[in-house]
Each structure stands twice: as C-alpha cells, then as structure tokens.
A and B are shown apart, each in its own frame.
Chain A
Amino acid sequence: MDYLDHLEAEAIYILREVAGQFENPALLFSGGKDSITLVHLAKKAFRPGKFPFPLVHIDTGHNFPETISFRDQLIAELGEKLIVGYVQDSIDQGKVVEQTGKNASRNALQTVTLLDTIEQYGFDACIGGARRDEEKARAKERIFSVRDEFGQWDPKRQRPELWNILNGRIHKGENVRVFPISNWTELDVWNYIKRENIALPSIYFSHQREVVLRNGQWMAAAPFLQIDDTDTVDYKSVRFRTVGDMTCTAAVDSEAVALDDIIEEIRSSTISERGARIDDKVSEAAMEERKKQGYF
C-alpha cells in the first residue's frame, strides 16, 4: 500500500472504532479542509449506510461566508444531520464575555460553546480533524484523548495507547476527543484531497480580497473587524492556508489557483501552517492551555 492508502485505512479504522465503542458520538465540522477530509473518510467508512453520528459545527458568528455556504451545500448532498452551536447564544446567555478592542476574537469563547453543546446533546465522543504535525502540544495527544467532565485535557495523565487498540471506556460525564488523521501531515491532506478529488471552499484558492494589516499579517476585511484610519488596507491576491474564523486566520499572499499550485506552494514554504494562526501566537503554550480548558 502507498502511504496515502495506509493513512486512509488507519483513519477509517479509527472512525469505525468510534462507531463501535460509543453510544452518542459526533463529528466536529468546522468547514476547514481537515474536517472536510474527515467527512470524506466517514463516507468510506460507513457508506452505503448512514453516518453513525451527526456533524457538529461550533459557529463563532465570524465565519467566512464561503465556508458557511460550502457547509450547507455539503450537508444537503450528504443527507446527514448537522447540529450548530452558536457562540452568540453563549454571549447572549451571559456565559462568556466578548473581547473588545481591535484584536478582539471569539476564538477562546468557542470552547465554552463547544462544552455546552457536548453537554446539551450528551455526546460521549467528538471526532476532530486535529493533526500532530500542526503544533507541539497536539504532537503529544493520543488518538483517543480522554477529557474529564469539565472537558479538560490532562497531558500528564494520558492513558497508555498500545498498537491500534483504542480504549474508549469512560465514566458518565467524561468524553473522548478522537483524532483519526493524527498521523497525517499538511501535505498528506492536500495530496489526498487531490487524489480523491475532494471539493473545498473557494477561499483555499487564490482570489482577490480586501485585507487589513494586523500585527504583521493580512486579515480579511469583515464588517465585525474594527478598521480605522491608522490601518493599512489593501486589495491583494491571497488565499487561506488554514481556515478558522475570520478574526484568527490570516491570509497568505498566493497565486495558487489549482491543487497542484497549492501542493507546490506548501512543499516550498518556509513557514508552518499554524504560522498564520493568531490564536497560537499568544504564547509558547497557547495551544496546550486552550486544550486544558476543553478546546479540541
């Protein structure tokens, strides 16, 4: 088997273990390329049957419109169930307080909405598209990663995980985060997308866009982004290498219009994928701290 076949077979195996071991799992779907790849893998794992889990989107309200329309079209094609948890609801209920100022982002708030959604629906496993090559705290995480009833990850007390035998037994209230594409690199994902001809939101490809310079990076101009006279605004050819919400994902200068261009661009890049994530740059341990709080 080629390495992509190997990675694919492993991911399908993990998805089927989730189906077999849990009562009420869910697939966390952000509309980014990794979760779109997960949906493709779920089709391979369970078709012609239905998915044994709904898709769950935690919506910060600060989405790229292209991602949302892509999501809705994908769901319609799949005929699977979508559950949306709104960060706006958490704000309206007074559970979280929105950040203010020019660098305000709802990234941190979505953890609360995620945990509330998990509790509301009683999910015992949440499948996510995180990869170990993305970030050094993620490089440490198990494929079945147990969270306590407060959603917290305890990196110092991870369960042993031997061979491909995945232990999903938990106590009531706990849940497991599952990462079927743990062993994929960014380039593997793109090569797979190309091989399988998987459709993606248009913002992954080069397009003309109004962008604002923030802390050395180009952010997409959006109605909820505070822009004033001191800001540098430009109209550029860009694409998004990673897609979170609009306040935490920076654009990269790019002329890559096709998958081959993107693969070549990543192959020769000297910056890592998460170099364009504002949320990771807060501190050395930004990801670890968020994971301990319940981030996926």
Chain B
Amino acid sequence: MDILKFITAGSVDDGKSTLIGRLLYDTNSVLDDQLEAIKKANRKNNDGTVDLAILTDGLKAEREQGITIDVAYKYFQTTRRKFIIADAPGHIQYTRNMVTGASNSDLIVILVDARKGVIEQTKRHSFLAKLLSIKKVLVCVNKMDMVDYNEQVFEDIKADYELLAAKLGLENVDYIPVSALKGDNIVHQSLRMSWHKGNALLDYLETIEFQVAKSSKGWRFPVQWVVRPQTDDLHDYRGYAGRVLGSGLRVGEKVLILPSGVQSTIERIEINQQIFEEAEDGQSVIVHLSNDVDISRGDTIVSAAHPTHSERSFEANISWFDNKPLDTTQQYLLQHHSQTVKIKVSEVLFKYDVNTQEQHYGTEIGLNDIGKICIKSANEIPFDVQADFPENGRAIIIDPRSNITVGAITIENVA
C-alpha cells in the first residue's frame, strides 16, 4: 500500500475544512469520542447539522474565529490507499502556512466556490502549485447545492480555470463538482449531479497515479552525518549517512564529492547494518567509499556520470514569507539539504502579479510576494534546476538575525 499526500487549498469560506470533515466522517474515520467532543463543542451549521470543520481546526484561536490559521494534518486510510491530508489556511496572511503544507503534497485540491468562480486566491494557490511543482491538480467546484447543482455553472468555471492552467503551464488538471456540506460527490456519487460522469472525490483519490517517472539524471546523496564508531573492532569504519534522491546508486559506481570535486567509488551500501548492492529513491542509508576522502555534513556525493551543477550564482523563483521585505543589501543563509551557506540576493529581476501572471519590474519583494531573483553564494552549491531534478532544485532562505525561514526558492537556471 502507498501513501498519497494531498493538500486542500482555496479561499476563506470555500469549505476546505468542511470537505475534509466530510471525507473523514463518511469514511468512518471519526471515532466516537472525537464525535462526542464535537457535539459538546456545539458548533452548528445554519441548517442545524454538526459543523465538521471543527475536526481540523485544532487551535483555540481557530475555533473562536471559525478560521484556519495553520496547516492541520489528518490521517485516514481505505482498503486501497493511505492518505495524509494537509488542511491549509485560505487567508492570504497565512500563505506561508499554506506553502508549508503544499510543499510536501503530491496533489493539490483547489476548492472553488460555485457562486464566486475563479478568484484571486484560486490564482495564487494555482501559481504556488506550479512553483512548487506539485504533480497533480484537482479543482473541486464546491457549494454546488447553492447553485441548484447546475451543470452550466460547473462548465463555466471549468472553462475559466482551463484558461488559467494554460497560462501557468499547469498540466494534469482534473475537475469534480461537489457539495462538501451535503456530501455530494465526496464519498458517494451524487444523484443530484448525474450529469457528472467522472469519479466522486474519494474514488479519484484512491485511484490516481501520482508517482511520476524519475528523470534519467541519476541520483544525488547529500551527506547528513558521518558514522564513526571509533571502537577497537570498528576502528577504520567510516560511513556516510544520508537519504538518496533519485535512483541508481549502486556498488562499484564512480562518484564525485561536491563541492571539492574529489573522485571515489561506492564500495558498500548499508541499510540497518545489512549490506545491499543498490539503494532506492528515498531510502535512508549509509554509504562507504573505496578511498579515504575528506567528507563531512553538507557535502554531496553524486554519480560521476551525472553530476549536478556546482555554482555560486543562479536564478530562482522565490516565495517570500517575512513581514520585512527582501533586502538586497543584507546577507541571508541558504539551506539546501544538509548544506547551509551565506548568500546575497544580487538582483530582484521582477515580481509576479499573481492575478494576471504579469511581470512587474523595479519593485521590491514583500510578504506573500512571488518573484524571480539572482542569488550569489559564498560557496559552490551542488544544485540542479527545478525542471531537471525537482528534489535538488529547491532551498529555503533564513534570516540569520531572527533565524526564521523567510523565503523558499526553486532554482530556474544557472546565471
């Protein structure tokens, strides 16, 4: 069985939390004592039914205000698949929390209010989906009960979104008309929308293919930790611990250590103190090399046949999270896997208008803005551009004064 991680996004009051509540409730994933707690809290919808949003609004401030401030993770499983849902806030001021949830998702479910259609937050979230290269997009046109389950309303919104998707270059978009409140097309196929020939939401979630074929760019192995027991019997043991990105790491392969550029060969792969010939994508392993080389945390081992770039300047898209705008005169830290280096933003190329996707020049990048920048770093970074090898084309920006994560970047090209 595999795990599908997905995020629900949409504007405030589009019914994200209600949709998740409905999904959990109708798959019997809500247990008696949790239901009892909900009933005790006594939050009701206008029609007197229990407010299912309370299942995910885990903070007191959220329940008081009836809004989602930060991502809540919910877990459920069916006979076909395990699911991790990130219920993300819709308010623009909590975009950084939405991005936190989206960055680890295989699928983004974008909710659109049938009465309002495609609005600015829809565009913002779709833009972020593109930026974070989320593999699949599902548009759920919600509150169909408020528009008499009218097919034309759904078709019009779908046509609008198709234009947006084409503009953004989003592929793999699917559409389902739903009413989270009434349970239409969530777990059960809606009789009130028999015109919709596709799956209900749960069927869709259970069956979509989201494992995209891996690129032929080989693998990357950022070293997290050096295992050195230094005991009498393991005096010479020196293993490099990390998690494999990509596939094809195997014994006997010629490798480069970056940034030094020193060459070596994979001598042994260990998982749980057992020896393996090959390591898979995503596995946490220990690698041994054939000769004594100087490697520490922050170095990256790559296949000599498919090395990464190793550069000190590049262009990247950036999503900014801090109240203080990006400052091109200030030093920041860039964390790329296990490596942290000093950087400066040498140039702000432009800022995107989230609504129109136009590029604006000569402006600064402030809270919740998305833009494109040039970065200069103090040391070489072994990166790939996002389009070639997404897992190795991303990094976070930290303000060294506050230690807060102020931005996220995806590397677009070598400068």
Interface residues of A (CB under 8 A from B): 1-3, 5-6, 8-10, 12-13, 16-17, 19-20, 44-50, 52, 132-133, 135-140, 142, 155-156, 158-165, 167, 169-171, 182-183, 185, 269-272, 275, 284-285, 288
Q: A142-B100, A160-B97, A288-B59 are in contact. List 18 more A-B contacts (CB 8 A).
A: A3-B82, A17-B224, A45-B284, A133-B75, A136-B72, A156-B70, A159-B404, A162-B100, A163-B394, A164-B104, A164-B243, A167-B403, A169-B403, A170-B403, A183-B84, A284-B40, A284-B41, A288-B60
Bound: A5/B96 CA distance, A: 30
Bound: A5/B82 CA distance, A: 14
Main secondary structure of the interface of B (DSSP, over half): mixed
| Contact across chains for B224 and A13 when beta carbons are under 8 A apart | yes
Contact among A12, A44, A183, A271 for B73, CB-based, below 8 A:
A183
Bound: A132/B71 CA distance, A: 11
- B282: which A residues are within 8 A, CB to CB? 1, 6, 9
Interface residues of B (CB under 8 A from A): 1-3, 31-34, 37, 40-41, 55-61, 63, 69-75, 77, 82, 84, 96-97, 99-100, 103-104, 224-225, 227-229, 231, 234, 237, 241-243, 272-273, 280, 282-284, 297, 321, 333, 335-338, 391, 394-396, 398, 400, 403-405, 408
Residue among B97, B99, B103, B241 with max Cβ neighbours from chain A (10 Å): B241
Question: Looking across the interface, which residue of chain A has its beta carbon closest to that of B87?
Answer: A139
| Contact across chains for A288 and B58 when beta carbons are under 8 A apart | yes
| Contact across chains for A1 and B396 when beta carbons are under 8 A apart | no
How many A-B residue contacts, CB cutoff 8 Å? 163
| Contact across chains for B280 and A1 when beta carbons are under 8 A apart | yes
Question: Looking across the interface, which residue of chain A has its beta carbon closest to that of B407?
Answer: A160
CB distance from B330 to the nearest CB of A (A): 16
Q: A161-B100, A162-B394, A185-B75 are in contact. Are A44 and B56 (CB under 8 A)?
A: no
Question: Looking across the interface, which residue of chain B has its beta carbon closest to that of A137?
Answer: B58
Bound: A155/B94 CA distance, A: 12
Bound: A12/B242 CA distance, A: 9
Chosen A-B contacts, 16 in total, with CB atoms closer than 8 Å, are A6-B282, A10-B284, A45-B284, A136-B72, A139-B56, A140-B70, A160-B96, A160-B321, A163-B104, A164-B243, A167-B335, A182-B73, A269-B31, A272-B31, A272-B33, A284-B60
